[in-house]
Structures are given as C-alpha cells and as structure tokens.
Amino acid sequence: MESVLITGAAGFLGSHLIDKFLAEGFEVFGMDNFITGNPNNIAHVASHPHFSFIEQDVTKYINIEGNLDYILHFASPASPIDYLKIPIQTLKVGSLGIHNVLGLAKAKKARVLIASTSEVYGDPLVHPQTEDYFGNVNPIGPRGVYDEAKRFQEAMTMAYHHVHGLETRIVRIFNTYGPRMRLNDGRVIPAFLGQVLRGEDLTVFGDGQQTRSFCYIDDQIDGIFKLLFSDYALPVNIGNPNEISILDFAKEIVKMNGNKSKIIFKDLPVNDPMQRCPDISKAKELLGWTPKIGREEGIRKTFEYFKTLSKEELYKTEHKDFSDYIK
C-alpha cells in the first residue's frame, strides 16, 4: 500500500484530500497544529484503519517512520483574516515549513506536491492568468506575507527539483469553495452565505466590479490528484475559468435568497486584486482536467452545509487568539 503525508490536514483542502486518498486505497498520515485547521474536519476519519494523525507544526523538524511515497504540503493560513493576524507564522510555514517538507521528501525519495496559489499573480496585469506570467505583487503590502511566502515556496521547491532531482509538483490554486470552509474566514462565498443565514445585508467592497472565478472543492481535489500523478514539474493552474464580478455574484445570492437581502458597499481593501481568473489550458492539455460542477450546483451544496452549523458558529465573527504564535 502506498503512503502519503498531507500537511494542513485539518484545513478545508487538506481534509478533502484525506478523504480522496483514503478512498483511493492509500495509507494516509495527516499533520496539523490546528492554528487555523479544525479538528471537526477530520473527526470522521479518526478511527479509519489507514489514517494516522500527527499534531505538529511543520516549521519544526518533521519525520515519518518507515516508507513514504508522496507528500502534499497544504499547511498555511489561507484567508486574509488569518494571514493578516499571523503574518510571521504565514511566512515561516512558506519558508521553514517547505524546507522541512522538502528535506523529508529527499530523505524518503518521495514525490512532493506543494499548494501554491493564484495570489502569486498579485493584482494581475495579464488576464486570464497563465502560468508563465510572473505577477504584479507588492511584497511589503498587507497581502505580501502570503503572496511572498507562496512565491518563495515555489522557488525553494524548484531548487530542490533542479539540485537534488526531487520529484516535485506545484499547483496554483484559484478560489475554491465547498463544505468545511470556515464561515468567518473572510472570503466572499462564506461571507455572503453567512450574511444570508444571519438575515444581514450583503457587503460588497468597492464598486463590486472586481472579478473572481470559483471552483467547487470536488473539482479542485480531482485536479490536484491528477497533477500529483502527472509527469509535469512546473506550476499548473487549477481553478474554474467561469468569471463573474463580485456585484453580479452578490445579485445571484440575493436572488437565491428570494430577494430578502440588500447589497451595501464598503471601501475596497488595500491591494485587493481587481481580476482573478485562471487560464487552464495547461491543465486541460496535461491532465485532461476541466471543472465539472457549475456555480449554481456548488453554491447550493455549500449553502446546505452552512445550514447545518450551530448558532455559535453562525454568529462567530472572531476566531482563536493567535498571540502565542506571533514570535
């Protein structure tokens, strides 16, 4: 039986990856320190005979006993609320964390896939974004801690690939949504759906003409899995190219809610990208991958999940105190 280590195991993406690899017959090791991950996301696999959990910070030395065939590095704060609160930890997981992961992969002769992001493109001057675009990033702006952590992570991964011959894969993940997202993580889909469930108006930043494209979690996991088992070492965009403005998306949500909500406008955050849409030509050509789940279906499934949350989770606007991690 082949084995895989997934860091960030209790996060949104990490927990769905665990489900995928267990379903495919792998021995799965999950690692998380719960700085932003949720133990409830992996509670359903806690007693699975082929799943083992390791509570650990990947910025500390890591080791797995025995053979290890694959590593997927998904440990990182990913939402603006998180990485603005814990900027140093965000930078550390993209530098010290990737160094530890790559060192383990080298020792085990394991193939490693790292989770990069569309944020490496910054506020793009090229549209849609192709993998050969170098980006328009402000390294000292508030979002720079996340953008540059991921850019460094890519550079470190390719250095190990070239110097040590390590088998590496890099996925650039565009906006992804679905069950197990944190309702208060600051991203637009949980923000809008949370406001609907609480009977609030929908908040749109700026004039709402900035665009996003949303990929449902099942499609994203399928793309990541296919990339891992491809022969391609350079970055690949995985996302849904069906682009929509935030204002039009808000109108869709209002209509879904029976026109019970209003739309209100607030100031645009600093360095908020005005366009975000992947060119997925490479994923189509190399992986035979395209997203299958449309926005209407995906939003409905996500909304049904959020309806199951407790009142405490629904009305929670602040999460855990990160002060112990800011060192």
Predicted local distance difference test score (pLDDT) of residue 177: 97
Rounded Cα gap, residues 250 and 201, in angstroms: 10
The CA–CA distances, whole Å, from 298 to 117, 212, 259, 289, 295 equal 21, 15, 20, 18, 5
Q: What is the pLDDT of residue 187?
A: 87
Structural domains in the chain plus CATH codes: 3-178+213-242+277-292 (3.40.50.720)
Helices (H), the chain: 12-23, 80-85, 87-108, 144-164, 188-197, 217-228, 246-256, 281-287, 295-307, 311-315
Active site residue 305: no
Catalytic residue among 70, 83, 121, 146: 146
Asked whether the beta carbons of 31 and 100 are under 8 A apart, the reply is no
10-residue averages of pLDDT along the chain (327 residues): 98 98 98 96 97 97 94 94 93 98 98 97 93 95 94 98 98 97 88 92 92 96 98 98 95 87 87 86 98 96 92 67 34
